[in-house]
Amino acid sequence: MVLAYIGIAIGVLIVLILIVKISKTGPREVAGVDKFCKKCGLETRGMNCPKCKKNPNHSASSSH
């Protein structure tokens, strides 16, 4: 029975944390990921850019 109370308390705590996060997020703010690398413009779909990971000094002017 004590484990059930602990589980309920953890569940309520998680719900409260999520409610606080939702209340702090603006209504016009979109939660998403960048589709392109900010440095070189390569399409990454939210993952780390392989070009910039291999060469940290890589920039858009050095390509082509």
Domain boundaries, the chain: 31-64
Amino acid identity, position 62: S
DSSP one-letter string for 9-57: HHHHHHHHHHHHHHHHS-TT------SB-TTT--B-TTS--HHHHH-TT
Model confidence pTM above 0.75: no
Backbone φ and ψ for 36, nearest 5 degrees, come out as: -120, 150
Each residue's pLDDT tens digit, 5-52: 999 999 999 999 999 988 887 777 666 666 777 777 777 776 777 777
Give the model's confidence band at 59: pLDDT under 50 very low, under 70 low, under 90 confident, else very high: low
